[in-house]
Amino acid sequence: MVFTVAVGQVKSVWQYMDLVSPEGKAIERFNVIASTAFINDSILIVSCTDDKILGLVSAPSQGLFDDTDYRIYKRTGTISSMRDTVGTVYRYVYEHIIHKNKLVLMIDDSLSFVMIHPNPHVGLVFHNNKRKGRDK
């Protein structure tokens, strides 16, 4: 579910998160209550009540000191995009405002998913599709 909260802010609420390999194969699916919010195309807020999920998008040291249910990142660099048969996918790089860990974030033009790569070895795909991935 995607909705505009205020001018310049778009928030998406997600029911599922798939942990995926670098090749895009589903490793595990989690039922979650999570959200992503984009504010003025420069701030990303990832919120989730599950500490394991937030731990995956956090810097290793952050989990020891941060007991909040959200993480805030600022966009750095330029936005790149690629077009495929489904539509356009946009690639952003975000950096945590305190811990400086970087995330690569990919979204499609309809905001039907958000894929977050906290490192090159794993991806987190937030979505609302009940079907299991093709690779499971």
Q: Is residue 136 very low, low, confident or very high in pLDDT (cuts 50, 70, 90)?
A: very low
d(CA 41, CA 37): 10
pLDDT value for 134? 43
**What pLDDT does 4 receive?**
53
Q: Which residue has the higher pLDDT, 86 or 47?
A: 47
Whole-angstrom Cα distance, residue 68 to residue 83? 36
pLDDT digits (tens, 9 = 90+) for 67-110: 788 999 999 988 899 887 778 889 999 999 888 889 999 998 88
Q: Rounded to whole angstroms, how far apart are CA atoms 48 and 52? A: 9
Task: Tell me the pLDDT band of 131, cut-offs 50, 70 and 90.
Answer: low
Residue 1, pLDDT above cutoff 70 = no
Which residue, 77, 110, 113, is CA-closest to 94? 77
75, with CB counted inside 10 A (0-12, 13-18, 19+), is middle
Burial tier of 52 (Cβ tally within 10 Å: 0-12, 13-18, 19+): exposed
